[in-house]
């Protein structure tokens, strides 16, 4: 009487491809990306938008506030130099009365970019939604 056939599990084959070169390449890539990566946290403020062209006509019912930015970076409203807090309070009062007040900023060419951004920040935090930067252009 024949016995049951014996089933043998096939022996697992050894490693066909060495993993060492792959690990080497991965480590080199890892070091490369660790060294070359930059971790800049940057934001943006829109300067020109397509829809700005269509919103050029001013609303007759809304007022306009002109902020002149002096060359030393001090904002001047109606001839009076303003601190950041005073400017924020002034704009908040204006915008509470007329929410669609247009805020125009006329910066001096010698003012720094930081001073312009700070004034734009102040106006935005005060609630201004219609904010424009204007500049005088020399014509021959």
Partner 1 sequence: MKLNRIRRNPHSETIIALIDVVFFLLVFFMLIGRMDATAPFDVTPPLAVSGRDMPAGGATLSISRDGALALDGTEIAGSDLEAALSRALDRDANLRLRINAHKDAELRHVLPLVGMAEAIGIADVVLVVTPAAGPDAG
Of the candidate residues 6, 13, 61, 114, the single one contacting partner 1 (CB under 8 A): 114
Q: Which is nearer to partner 1, 47 or 80 (CB)?
A: 47
Question: How many Å apart are CA 20 and CA 42, to the nearest integer?
Answer: 39
How many Å apart are CA 106 and CA 66, to the nearest integer? Answer: 7
Residue 6 CB, nearest approach to partner 1 (Å): 29
Does residue number 41 form part of the binding site for partner 1 (CB under 8 A)? yes
For 97-128, b/e burial (b = at least 16 CB within 10 A) is eeeebbbebebbeebeeebbebbbebbeebeb
Does residue number 54 form part of the binding site for partner 1 (CB under 8 A)? no
Interface map 4-33 toward partner 1 (x if CB under 8 A): -----------x---x--xx--xx-xx--x
Instruction: Return the number of the residue (80 or 136) whose C-beta is nearest partner 1.
Output: 136
Residue whose CB is less far from partner 1, 98 or 118? 118
Residues comprising the chain, all counted: 140
Closest approach, Cβ 136 to partner 1, in A, equals 10
Q: How far apart are CA 106 and CA 78, in angstroms?
A: 12
- Structure token digits, residue 136: 């005088």
Q: How far apart are CA 133 and CA 49, in angstroms?
A: 13
Q: Does 38 participate in binding partner 1 (rule CB under 8 A)?
A: yes
Can you give the binding site for partner 1, defined by CB under 8 A? 15, 19, 22-23, 26-27, 29-30, 33-34, 36-50, 107-114, 116-118, 120-121, 124-125, 133, 135, 137
């Amino acid at each position: 009487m024949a016995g049951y056939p014996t089933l043998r599990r096939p022996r697992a084959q050894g490693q066909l491809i060495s993993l060492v070169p792959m690990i080497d390449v991965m480590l080199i890539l890892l070091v490369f990306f660790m060294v070359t990566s930059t971790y800049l946290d940057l934001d943006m403020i829109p300067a020109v938008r397509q829809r700005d062209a269509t919103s050029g006509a001013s609303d007759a019912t809304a007022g306009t506030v002109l902020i002149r930015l002096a060359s030393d970076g001090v904002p001047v409203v109606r001839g009076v130099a303003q601190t950041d807090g005073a400017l924020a309070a002034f704009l908040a009062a204006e915008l509470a009365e007329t929410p669609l007040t247009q805020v125009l900023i006329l910066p001096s060419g010698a003012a720094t970019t930081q001073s312009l951004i700070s004034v734009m920040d102040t106006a935005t935090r005060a609630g201004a939604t219609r904010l424009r930067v204007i500049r005088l252009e020399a014509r021959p």
